[in-house]
Structure 1
Amino acid sequence: MSTNNNSASSSNANASPNPPENAAVATTAAVPESETVSIPKPTVIGIYGIQGSGKTYLLKKLKPELGEEKFAYHDSSAMIMELVPGGFDAFKKMDEEGKKRARELAIETIGQRAAESGKVALVAGHLMFWAAGKDAGDVVWTEADSRTYSHVVYLDVPAGLIYSHREADTEARGTGARPVEPVEHLQKWQDAEKDQLRELCPKHDILFTTVVSEDARTSMLQAALPLLRDFQHHNEKLNLSRAESKLDEAFPAGQGNLETMLVLDGDKTLSPADTGSMFWEMVPGSLQSEGNKDTLKTLFGGPLGYTYNAFRQATLLYEGAANDQKFEDHCQDVASKVVMYSEFVSLLRKATKQAHVGAVVVTCGLRRVWEIVLERNGLSKAVKVIGGGRISDRVVVTAAVKAALVTRLQKVHCLYVWAFGDGPLDLGMLKKADQAILVVGEEHSRSKSMDRELEYAVKFEGLSARQVVLPSSASPRLNATQLPIVSLIESTFFDSVIYHHNKLACFLRTEATHETSSKLLATPTRDAGISGPSLRKSHHNIGWYLAIQYVSRLIKVERYDIPHVQGGVTDGYRLLDEKKTCIVALMRGGEPMASGVSEAFPLAMFVHAKQPGDLLPHHLPDQGTVVLVDSVINSGKSVVEFVNRIRHLDAAIQIVVVAAVAHVDSLQYLAQRLPSLDKFNLCILRTSGNSFKGAGDTDTGHRLFNTTHLA
C-alpha cells in the first residue's frame, strides 16, 4: 500500500471503523460462539435429470438401501396429484399460473414435512420440459424450489442411454407414454439443464453435484449412496467437530512433551503455488483446462463467497471431476510441480526435531496434495495435514475452522501456537494465535483484497503480527511499523520458535490481569485499610465478575423463556445446565468470592469444604461442573488435592477453579502435579510474582473476617 494511502488511513483513525466490503471471510472466526446463527434448511435433496434418466427408478432402489426411518421419498408429480383436487387430470387443465402455484405447494409441503419429521427428503423433480423442434425448454423450477432445496443431485446419464430407456418405455406402455426424441436433442436438453442448475443453485445456497453413469442404472445407485449418506449428516457443527477430532488424533492432548505448535496454511504460504488452480488445469473439459475461467475463483467469487457451503461445493466439484484413481493421479502431478520455500523446509526440519515442537498444515485446499509435497521434502512424518478435497475426507476447512483449531490447541491441548498464513482466510487464525506470521509473496501472486482487510484487522481487531517476505526482494505488505519484518532463517527467530513455554499458558487466557476492570476490582483487596464486611463485599464482587465474564464463556449459556415486562415471553439466559453445577467454597477464604459466583448462578448447588474429604459423592452433579473457589492460590497444593479428590469421585466431570490471585509459581506446580489438564480450567482475576505469603494482619482470611488479632 502506498504512503499516501497509509496517511489517509491514519487521519481517519478516530472515525467509526468500517470493515472492508469483502471482509466477511476475515471476520467470520471472530464471531462470538454465543451469537445466534440462522436456522438451517431441512435437508431436501432434489434428484434431477431429463425424462428417462432414471430418477424414479433410483428412488425405488434407494428405499431398501437407506430405509424409511431417516429418509422420505417423494415424486413431485405424485405430490401434485395428492394435493390438487381432481389429481393430475385437473392439474393439466390449469393455466400456467395455476400450475405454478400447484408446483410450489407440492415442494413447500415436502419441505414442511421434512422439517416436522426430521427426515431427509429425496425428491424426483423436473427442471424443464423440452420437446424437439422448440427453440427452448419450458422451465418449471419455481421460487419455492429455490427456498426449499438444500441439495440437487443431477443424474448425468449418456443421452444415448436415455434414448434407449425412453424407447423401451414407449414400447412397453404404448406410443403415448413418452415421446422418443433424437439423441442430439436429448443431449442439448441435458446440457441446458446442467448449465441452468449450476447457475441457479449457488444463488440460493443449494449444493449441486452430478452423478455420472456410463452403463447400467445399478452403477448410478452405487455412485449416489455415499453422497446421500454424506448429505444426511454433514453440517457446519459436525464439520468442526470432525476437524477437531482429526487434530486430537494427530496430537493427543496430555500425551508427549509438546509445548509449541506451528500451524501453517498451504498454498501461497509454504509455496508460491496455487495447487487448486493447478489441479483444475489438469481436468479435461473443465472451464480452466479450456482457458475460459478459473474454476475455484469462479466458485468463491460467486454468491456463496467463502462460506461453509462454498467449500462443500468445491468438494463436490472435485468429486464430479475425477474418480478416486484419477484424483490421486492429478494430486501426484500437481505435487510434483510444487516447490516449497527453502526457508520453510529448513525451519520445519529443524523445529520438529525438538521434542516439544509440533507442526500441522491446515489447508483450505487439497489435503492429498500437501501430504505428497511434505513427503517429497522429507517432512511427512513430522508435519501432519488437515484438509479436504473428497467426500471421504469427511471435512472441509474454512476460515472459521482454522481459527477454531488454533483455539483448541491453546485451550484443550495447552500449547503455545505460532500461525503462518498469507491471505484473508488466514486472518482468523492469525488473530487467535500467540504469534502470528504473515507470509508475503511476490506482488503478482498475492491476494488482491488482503491489504485492506489486513489493515482493518491490525487497526481495529487487535491483530499483532509480523511478516516474512519471500523472496526477500519482494515488497512488504502495509509497512514495517505495522507489520515488522522477520526472517525465518535467522537464529534469533528460530530460538524464539523453540522457546520452552509453560503448559499452563492456556489458563492465562482466562485471567483478567491486564483488564481495567481487574485493576478496579483488585484495589480494595490490596488496601490494608479495608477489612471485614467491606473486604468480603469486594471479594463477592470479584467472584460475581469472574463468573459472568469468564466462567460463563467456558461452560457456555443456554436460553430459556422469561416473562417480558410488556407481556408475553422473551428470551432469558442462564449458565448451561446450571442445576448441574456445584460451587465449592474453599474455607474459609473462598467463601465471600463463592457467594458472588453463587449470585451469578443462583440455581447451582453451594458447598463448603475445608478439606478434600468434605466433598462427598452426592455433591458432584452427573455430567456437570464443579467450580472450586478460593481467594488466593499460593503454592497450588490445596488445588491439586481438591482436584484429585474430585477426579477420584468422578473422573470425567468438568472442573473450573476461580481465584482472585494466583502466584505464577503455582501455575507451574499445577502443570506438573495435575495428572491431566483435560476438562480443567482456571479463571483468575490476576497473577502475581510476589512471593510474599500473608500472615497475621496481612493474612487474607483473617482480614476478611476481622480475626487478625487471633493470628
Structure 2
Amino acid sequence: MVNFQLDQSTVPNTSRTSRKPIVIGLYGLPGSGKTSLINQLKESLSHEDFQFYEGSVVISDLIPGGLENFRQMDNVEKTLWRERAIDWIMEDSTRSGRVAVVAGHFMFWDEPDKAGQVVWTAHDEQTYTHILYLDVPPDTVAQYRLNDRARARSVVSQEHLRRWQDTERDQLRLLCLQHGILFANITPHKAPILLRDIHLHTEDHNLSCAQSKLDDALSSPVHSKTMLVFDGDKTLIADDTGELFWKLALAEKPEMAYPLKEIFSSRFGYSYAAFRQVAMRYEEVQEKEFNNLCERVASAVTMHPEIVLLLTSAAERNVEAVVITCGLRLVWEKILEKAGLSTAVKVIGGGRIEDGLVITGEVKGALVARLRQVHHIFVCAFGDSVLDLPMLKEADRAIVAVGEEQSRSHRMDAALARAIDQEGLRAEQVLLPGTTSPRLDLVKLPVVDITDSDFIESIVLRSPRRLQVFHATNRNAAKLLMTPMRNANIEGPLLRQAHQRVGWYLATEFLSQLLGVELYSIPHVQGRDTDGYRFRYEAKTTIVALMRGGEPMALGLSDALPLAMFVHAKQPEDVKRDHLQEQETVILVDSVVNSGKTVVEFVQYIRALHSNIRIVVVAGVIQARSVSEGCLQVLSSVANLAFIALRLSENKFTGKGTTDTGNRLFNTKHLQ
C-alpha cells in the first residue's frame, strides 16, 4: 500500500506555518481605486489576519526627506529603495504572522511615450505570493482620475489607459507564471472574497474540504461497500472539457494562448498552487458567461457508451459511483445529467473559488485512501493520466482508461510503467473504443471488458483482478495442433516436433500480443534494406524449460525468439540471478500444467529474485480448474504475470507411466 503524503514542494508555499509570509500585491492603473479599496478592506477584513500597506507610504517613511527626496533620485537609487520597501513589508509580515496586502505600481506610462517605465523589481518577484490586478474599465479610471481631489493626475485618453492596462496586465501575468506567483484579474468587489479565501486556503485546508465533500457523498444511512471512482476528462469521455471551455471562451480571440496549458507548462507544473491558479483564471469569467460555457461544453461531449452501460449496471446492483475531477464540477454535473446519471453518480470537483477546493492528483489519492481506510469500501478506480496514478495506486482494483493514441497523455506510458515496475501498482486497461491500440503490453497491463457481465459481477463480489490467461482452446489452429499431441500412436521425435510447433505457434499468436514487436533493418532479396520485425526486447528475454516435459515446446519458443537466453530448470533454484539480471521477461515453459504447484513454486521464487520482471507461463494444456479455483489462484496477487496455453482442459486426469507426457516425449514409458 502506498504511504500517502501531501506534496509539500508546491509553489508558492501558502501554509500559515511556512517561513515565507503571504504577501499579496494589489495592482492596477494609477487612479483605478487601489487606495480607496485598501481603506474599504481595512473596514471589512480582520486586522488580526491582515495588514495593509501603501507602497508609496512605506517608501516615504523609509527615506529621509520622504517622497520629495525620492522623486529627485535616479532610477538606480529608486529601484534600491523600492526593494528595501518590499523587504521591510515582508519582514513586518513575518513578525506579525498576518497576511500583507500591498497597494503598488507596476509601470508608469506618459501618453507621448512609446512604452511605459516598469518599476517592478527583483525583490517583488521574490516576495509576492499573489498579485490581484484590479480590472476597472478605462472609462471608469479616466473618470476617477478627473474626480481625484487628493492628487494631481494628468489627463490621458481612454485609448491610452486601455493600452496601458492591457500591457501591464499581460506582463504581470507572464511574470507571475515565471516566478511562481498566483495572479488574478478581478473586479474590486471580489477583492474581500478572494483575500479571505487566500488567507484560509492552505493545502491542508483544501484536503479537509475535499474529504468533507466525499463524506457528504456517502451520507446515506446505508451505503454500498463497493464504489466505482472515475476521473472525468479522457476517461468518461474522449475530450478535455477544460480545453473545450477555453476554446469556446476565446473563440473571438484566436491569438490568445490556451491558459491551462500555459499554467501547467510553467514552473507551477501540476502542483496544488497550479490548480489554485487555474481556479483564479476561471474566476475571471463572469458568472453568467461561465454557466453558459459550462452548458455548451456539456452539450458538446458524449460519454463513452461502455462507461454509461457500466454505470447503469452498477446502479442496478447498488454499486455507488463518484467522479473525482481536476476539471470543472459544474461541467461534469451537467454531463451526467444529460446522460441520465445525475442521481446515480456524485461529483467532487472545483474550478471556481466559490467551490472551496481544488482537486489535485494527491487529493485524488487521499480520497480513495479515505474510502478504503475510513469507510471500509472496496474501490475500483478508473483514470487515464499521471494525475490519476495516486488514486489508482490506492484502489483495490485499478483500471487505466485508454483512448485513441493521438489524444492520450504523452507522459503516462513512462509513469505508468514505473508505477507498475517499481511502485507495486497492479492495473488493467479498458480500451475506449475497443478498436484502439493498448498501452504498454498486455502482461503489464491486461485488457478488461467492462461491458462483460462477469466484470460487474466481480466488482459486486469485491474481487481483485483475475489471473490473466490467453488460450486458443476453440480455434481451428488449436484443434489441428493438439491432434498429434493427443494421439497415443505418436511419441518420441514426432511428438517432440508437435510440441515444438505448438511453442512456435503460441509465441507468434499470443506472446507477440503480450510483448509487442519492434522494427529492425534486414537485407531485401532485391539488394536493398527493408523493415523486419522481431519481439520487443527479444535479447532481454529468458526462456526457462521446465524439465523435462517443457523442453520441446520451449525450443519452439526459442525458434520464434532466437535472441532469447535459454535455460533448463528441474527446480526453481536452477534459475539463477544472472539469468534474470537486466532482463525484461522470463518465460516458463511446461508441456502440461495440472495442479499448478510447480508453476507456483517457480513464479514465487523468481519474484523473490526479481521484484518486477515480466513472467509469462506457457503450456500446451492447463487444467481449467487450477486457474479458476485451484493452486494457481495464490498467484492472483502477483503483478506482471500472464499465462498462455494451447487449450484449457476440463479433464482432471493426470498422466502416469505410459500416459505421462514426459515419458511419451522421450520414449521412457518402459522405465515406469
TM-score by length of 2: 0.65
Deviation at 1:159, TM superposition (A): 1.4
- 2:216 matched to 1:249? yes
- Partner Cα distance (2:255, 2:310) in 1: 37
Contact 1:129-1:139 within 8 A present in 2 as well: yes
Deviation at 1:291, TM superposition (A): 5.7
2:155 aligned to which of 164, 180, 183: 180
- Partner Cα distance (2:56, 2:333) in 1: 48
- 2:180 matched to 1:205? yes
Partner of 2:638: none
- Partner Cα distance (2:225, 2:322) in 1: 14
- 2:184 matched to 1:224? no
Superposed, 1:24-423 pairs within 5 Å as: 32=5, 39=18, 41-169=20-148, 172=149, 177-212=152-187, 220=188, 222-252=189-219, 255-284=221-250, 290=254, 292-321=256-285, 323-355=286-318, 357-423=319-385
1:480 aligned to which of 442, 448, 464: 442
- What amino acid sits opposite 2:242 in the alignment? G
Change over 3 Å in CA distance of 1:35–1:146 after alignment to 2: closer
Partner of 1:680: none
- Partner Cα distance (2:129, 2:412) in 1: 32
Deviation at 1:35, TM superposition (A): 7.9
- What amino acid sits opposite 1:353 in the alignment? E
- Partner Cα distance (1:227, 1:358) in 2: 35
- Partner Cα distance (2:404, 2:55) in 1: 54
Contact 1:261-1:360 within 8 A present in 2 as well: yes
Superposed, 1:575-614 pairs within 5 Å as: none
SS of residue matched to 2:284: helix
- What amino acid sits opposite 1:112 in the alignment? E
- Partner Cα distance (1:64, 1:34) in 2: 36
Change over 3 Å in CA distance of 1:325–1:498 after alignment to 2: same
- Partner Cα distance (2:142, 2:329) in 1: 40
Q: Which runs of 5+ in 2 are unaligned?
A: 465-672
Offset from partner CA, 1:41-83 (integer Å, 9 cap, x none): 3221111011111110111111111132221111000001111
423-432 vs 115-124, which moves further? 115-124
- What amino acid sits opposite 2:120 in the alignment? W
Let me know the Cα RMSD of the aligned residues: 2.1
Deviation at 1:431, TM superposition (A): 1.1
SS of residue matched to 2:154: coil
Contact 2:234-2:403 within 8 A present in 1 as well: yes
2:390 aligned to which of 424, 428, 431: 428
Partner of 1:596: none
- Partner Cα distance (1:236, 1:35) in 2: 9
- Partner Cα distance (2:332, 2:19) in 1: 32
Deviation at 1:30, TM superposition (A): 6.5
Offset from partner CA, 1:469-505 (integer Å, 9 cap, x none): 1111110001111100011111221111111579xxx
- Partner Cα distance (1:36, 1:154) in 2: 26
Deviation at 1:284, TM superposition (A): 4.4
- Partner Cα distance (1:304, 1:34) in 2: 13
Contact 2:7-2:362 within 8 A present in 1 as well: no
- What amino acid sits opposite 1:303 in the alignment? R
Contact 2:250-2:256 within 8 A present in 1 as well: no
- Partner Cα distance (2:407, 2:3) in 1: 27
SS of residue matched to 1:352: helix
Deviation at 1:207, TM superposition (A): 0.9
- What amino acid sits opposite 2:200 in the alignment? H
SS of residue matched to 1:282: helix
Deviation at 1:151, TM superposition (A): 1.0
- Partner Cα distance (1:152, 1:95) in 2: 27
Number of residue pairs matched?
457
Deviation at 1:173, TM superposition (A): 5.6
- Partner Cα distance (1:484, 1:40) in 2: 47
Deviation at 1:33, TM superposition (A): 5.8
- Partner Cα distance (1:396, 1:225) in 2: 20
- What amino acid sits opposite 2:266 in the alignment? G
Deviation at 1:343, TM superposition (A): 0.8
Offset from partner CA, 1:144-163 (integer Å, 9 cap, x none): 11111111111121112212
Contact 2:6-2:362 within 8 A present in 1 as well: no
Change over 3 Å in CA distance of 1:173–1:114 after alignment to 2: closer
Contact 1:366-1:389 within 8 A present in 2 as well: yes
Offset from partner CA, 1:178-233 (integer Å, 9 cap, x none): 21122222111111100111101122221111123xxxxxxx3x222211111111
Deviation at 1:353, TM superposition (A): 2.6
Deviation at 1:350, TM superposition (A): 1.3
SS of residue matched to 2:269: coil
Superposed, 1:446-461 pairs within 5 Å as: 446-461=408-423
- Partner Cα distance (2:297, 2:81) in 1: 50
- Partner Cα distance (2:91, 2:342) in 1: 49
75-84 vs 58-67, which moves further? 58-67
Partner of 2:475: none
- Partner Cα distance (1:192, 1:30) in 2: 47
Change over 3 Å in CA distance of 1:448–1:30 after alignment to 2: farther
- Partner Cα distance (1:362, 1:260) in 2: 16
Change over 3 Å in CA distance of 1:86–1:283 after alignment to 2: same
Deviation at 1:93, TM superposition (A): 2.5
2:461 aligned to which of 481, 499, 506: 499
- Partner Cα distance (1:48, 1:233) in 2: 21
Deviation at 1:94, TM superposition (A): 2.6
Partner of 1:531: none
Offset from partner CA, 1:597-638 (integer Å, 9 cap, x none): xxxxxxxxxxxxxxxxxxxxxxxxxxxxxxxxxxxxxxxxxx
Contact 1:259-1:501 within 8 A present in 2 as well: no
- Partner Cα distance (1:96, 1:191) in 2: 24
Contact 1:416-1:501 within 8 A present in 2 as well: no
Change over 3 Å in CA distance of 1:135–1:122 after alignment to 2: same
Bigger-Rg structure (1/2): 2
Deviation at 1:415, TM superposition (A): 1.0
Partner of 1:695: none
